[in-house]
A and B are shown apart, each in its own frame.
Chain A
Amino acid sequence: MNANDEPLDEELLRRLKGGYNPPPEVPRDEMWAAIRAGLAEDGVETAPEEQVVRLDAHRGARQTSAPGRVSGARWGLWVTAAAAAAVLLLGVGLGRMTAPVPQGPVAATGGSEAPEVAERTNPGPMRQAAARHLQGTETFLSLVKSDARTGELSPEVQRLAGGLLTQTRLFLDAAPEGDPELRRLMEDLELVLAQVVSVEAGSPGTASELNLALDGMDRREVLPRIRTWSGGLAGT
């Protein structure tokens, strides 16, 4: 057997593995946004089938949603946003009507864990509406990231940000006190969306303003938290 049949020296291989084009974190959301836009250009449409349950095997998050007709990435987002808004209004209304009255034993535990567990095992309309809203914003934020790379912000994305900001504030007004995790997430989301809305599109500073908003979003781990939260709810 020739020496070249043998692997390279272990130490050399180790250095090469770590030093020769070591792959960074996969920018999966940005790439998906571009692929989705490409599919939309091809006229890929979402068939109106029965509910599709998706398990994101890499994040361990399961999402349940009913597919709607999609004729383009951004059009799809408008549909999602409009649906979320409708569900939100219904959720807020029902949530207020069915809001549980705090009971003695729950108060005696001295924490928010009990109502949290109860809500997670039996997600109310509010949490379901929140999950849909968060799924929509996840896709939206991916589009913003895509726009940030080009240094431009399209007017429709900014309009969408305004709509999502309004919905997020509605959630903040209506979110139950016993759900601090959701509240913090909505507050962080509100900040990101407000920053996107306030970007002066078409100005020389568009890219830096967008990147500032996205840096803040990354620092606060908004996207991973959205996935965890909405996935956890869908898994119940």
Chain B
Amino acid sequence: MKKERNPPLDRNEDGHDRDGLLDEETLIRRAREGDERAYRELYDAHVDRIYRLVYRMAGEEELARDFTQEAFLRAFRRLDQFRGDAAFSTWLHSVAVSVALNGLRKVDRRRERERGLDDVAPIAVRQARPEPDLKDRLREAVDGLPDIYRTVFLMHDLEGYKHKEIAEAMDVAVGTSKARLFRAREKLRETLGEAMGEYV
């Protein structure tokens, strides 16, 4: 997991530390002034973690790329609204999660419409679908979670985010994040049923 930028220590008047790094506050100020290099530094510092999370949520390279780009652009365009009450990373994550969830809803709606056309296929054809293997069952179980449970599960159990980070990114209380993870695991255990027995 990407290590966050160190707090400002021994910085000169320009905000550079001894390694020539700019602290985040200075970067944000410079970005607001239109310094493109400041935008790039902010991007470089956070893109890996954002992309990883968004990819876990979307599962497709093109969607993950679109969501990541949109999240950064939206955050950069709204830099004036960033008050610095929380870390930039926290704020950026909340933008990214919101972009991804909204984007996935749109994609789901579009696919539902497309699937509607397939529903006219004869029942016999639909029954011909082979029994999913274990890997598919795991995927279907996670995919089947409601978005808010799935996001918490992916962030916490697969990507290692803390409840505090998840809560801030999703704009909920820490207790809500814990409750959603509880429900996600519960649903996974219910859904997987027998398949779980192969591991547990």
Residues in chain A within 8 A of chain B (CB atoms): 2-9, 11-13, 15-17, 19-21, 23-24, 26-28, 30-32, 34-36, 38-39, 42, 44-47, 49-50, 52-58, 62, 65, 67, 70, 76
Which 7 A-B pairs give the minimum distances between C-beta atoms?
A53-B20, A21-B59, A23-B55, A4-B186, A23-B52, A46-B36, A12-B199
Residues of B within 8 A of A12 (CB): 138, 196, 199-200
Please give me the residue from chain B that is nearest to A234 by CB atom.
B20
Residues of B within 8 A of A15 (CB): 135, 138, 199
B44 at the interface (CB under 8 A from A): yes
Known pairs A23-B56, A42-B77, A55-B20; A32 contacts B196 (CB<8 A): no
Contact with A along B27-65 (1 / 0, CB 8 A): 000100111111111011101100110011111010011
CB distance from A174 to the nearest CB of B (A): 29
Residues in chain B within 8 A of chain A (CB atoms): 2, 5, 14, 16, 19-22, 30, 33-41, 43-45, 47-48, 51-52, 55-59, 61, 64-65, 68-69, 72-73, 76-77, 135, 138-139, 142, 154, 157-158, 182-183, 185-186, 188-189, 196, 199-200
Residues of A within 8 A of B38 (CB): 52
A23 to B68: give the CA distance in the assembly, Å: 13
Residues of B within 8 A of A67 (CB): 35-37
Most buried by A among B5, B19, B55, B199: B199
Q: Is B158 in contact with A16, judged by CB distance below 8 angstroms?
A: yes
B39 partner, pick from A2, A13, A31, A39, beta carbons under 8 A: A39
A58 to B16: give the CA distance in the assembly, Å: 17
Q: Is A20 in contact with B142, judged by CB distance below 8 angstroms?
A: yes
CB distance from A230 to the nearest CB of B (A): 15
Known pairs A20-B158, A35-B76, A67-B36; A27 contacts B199 (CB<8 A): no
Residues of B within 8 A of A11 (CB): 199
Q: Is B59 in contact with A35, judged by CB distance below 8 angstroms?
A: no
